[in-house]
A = this chain, B = another copy of it.
């Protein structure tokens, strides 16, 4: 399998790019280089695709089902009762809808935490994209359910030859007790898979943790040996300076979800502290019921503007948030992609420069972050294969 992308803008110059197998083989090749597929990309720019590092994909079925209400009522009166009615077929439909939306908006990967994961795995397999599928752990799950999950992980063989990985996903410190958090971490480390957890999403979570454990969520998780470079911590809205330093030292990946945090009134992500700490920050949409879409381009703009909003227009420049959404996400999940460079795995998109929102092109990344919409995307390539054109 080979793809020749002709006359495409890479940075500030036009070039011809050859993809062979999964990888960018060469840049600046002759225009008549033989390839199985030739994409004429005059008037288009090539950019790395997005990596969505925290999602509940099948919740796309709950898009617009409950908005503009208090968190407790939202969860207890709407989201949980609706979720109780979901069948495995629904999960498949919801996952398919989500993956379709993600591809159209340039994401080739999502880090998921939900139920009936076999169905979601099947959807991703067929779509040709990537995912990290979380095995959800809740305190309320029975021993039988947990044994089933452990058997699943033990017998797991990736049907896609490398596009899907698993994670152990203890939901949060308020739904999983200390012993189960510890055993989840041991389980993940033994299986060699990621750990995926919600951390300090709301001020209430922090208050309750202080009451129950006498310390804050990050300190608590660190005290039980949970934190490490295999952990992906979603949200992290309410961390103090020292907690950020802990996250950086342990090599934890933070999945920042600006739209979800804003829409649920969870609070403003502490950009200053997060950036200063040097922790690896990635970008995510969270599930559709608190967003209500899966569009990482939009999420980049929300993050960059929310950072600046309180008074410092130099905070979180376009290039930095673009890295969060692309390179940092790929790195966090061990995907050798996230940048357009020779030898790297070819996960990329082609963007239409003739769209008014990409015109004029004083600064490609600025246009992509601040001005574009996912409607500017023309082609999506994942793992060296065209998944949308």
Residues of A bordering B, CB below 8 Å: 60-65, 67-71, 74, 97-98, 100-101, 104-105, 259, 261-265, 267-268, 288, 291-293, 295, 298, 301-302, 304-306, 308-318, 356-357, 359-363, 366-367, 370-375
> Contact at A313–B265, with CB atoms within 8 Å?
yes
B370 touching A67 by the CB < 8 A rule? Answer: yes
A288 to B371, CA, bound (A): 8
Q: Which residue of B lies closest to A293 (CB)?
A: B371
B67–A318 CB distance below 8 A = yes
User: In this complex, what residue of B is CB-closest to A316?
Assistant: B68
Q: State how many angstroms separate the Cβ of A288 from the closest Cβ of chain B.
A: 7
- Once the chains bind, are A371 and B314 in contact (CB under 8 Å)? no
Least Cβ distance of A207 to chain B in Å? 14
With A298-B298, A373-B298 known as contacts, the answer to whether A65 contacts B291 (CB < 8 A) is: no
Contacts known (A67-B370, A357-B293); A265 close to B74, Cβ less than 8 A: no
B97 touching A356, Cβ below 8 Å: yes
Which B-chain residue is minimally distant from A100 (CB atoms)? B356
A292: which B residues are within 8 A, CB to CB? 366-367, 370-371
| Residues A367 and B265 in contact, CB atoms below 8 Å apart | no
Can you list 14 A-B contacts (CB < 8 A)? A60-B359, A63-B362, A64-B360, A64-B361, A64-B362, A64-B367, A68-B308, A68-B313, A70-B314, A265-B312, A288-B371, A292-B366, A292-B370, A374-B375
Whole-angstrom CA separation of A263 from B67 in the bound complex: 26
Q: By the criterion CB–CB under 8 Å, are A264 and B308 in contact? A: yes
Contact B367 A267 (CB under 8 A): no
Question: Could you say how many copies of this chain the assembly holds?
Answer: 2
Instruction: Specify which of A308, A366, A370 lies most central, judged by the most chain B CB atoms within 10 Å of its CB.
Output: A370
CA distance A371 to B373 in the complex (A): 12
Contact A265 B65 (CB under 8 A): no
**Are the C-beta atoms of A313 and B65 separated by less than 8 Å?**
no
Are A305 and B63 in contact, with the CB atoms below 8 A? no
> Which residues in B have their C-beta under 8 angstroms from that of A264?
308, 313
| Interchain nearest-CB distance for A181 vs B (Å) | 28
Instruction: Looking at the assembled complex, report how far the CB atom of A10 sits from the nearest CB atom of chain B, in whole angstroms.
Output: 17
Scoring A67, A302, A314, A361 by chain B CB atoms within 10 A of each residue's CB, the highest score goes to A67
Instruction: For A82, give the chain B residue with the smallest CB separation.
Output: B362
Give complex CA distance A94, B328 in Å. 36
Closest B residue by C-beta to A295: B373
Chain B nearest CB, measured from A299 CB (Å): 11
Residues of chain B contacted by A68 (CB below 8 angstroms): 308, 313-314, 316-318
Query: A356, B64: Cβ atoms under 8 Å?
Result: no
Measured CB to CB, the closest approach of chain B to A118, in angstroms, equals: 22
User: Taking each of A304, A359, A372, which has the highest tally of chain B beta carbons within 10 Å of its own beta carbon?
Assistant: A359
Q: How far is the CA of A374 from the CA of B366 in the complex (A)?
A: 19
A356 touching B305 by the CB < 8 A rule?
A: no
Cβ contacts under 8 Å, A362 to chain B: 62-65
A195 to chain B, nearest CB (A): 29
**B263, A313: Cβ atoms closer than 8 Å:** yes
Q: A64-B371, A267-B311 are in contact. List 19 more A-B contacts (CB 8 A).
A: A60-B356, A63-B362, A64-B360, A64-B362, A65-B362, A67-B363, A67-B366, A68-B314, A261-B309, A262-B305, A263-B370, A265-B310, A265-B312, A291-B370, A293-B370, A295-B357, A302-B305, A306-B306, A373-B374
Residues of B near A101 (CB, < 8 A) are: 356-357
Chain B residues within 8 Å of A316, by CB = 68
In the complex, what distance in Å separates the CA atom of A9 from the CA atom of B356? Answer: 29
Once the chains bind, are B64 and A313 in contact (CB under 8 Å)? no
Cβ contacts under 8 Å, A105 to chain B: 373
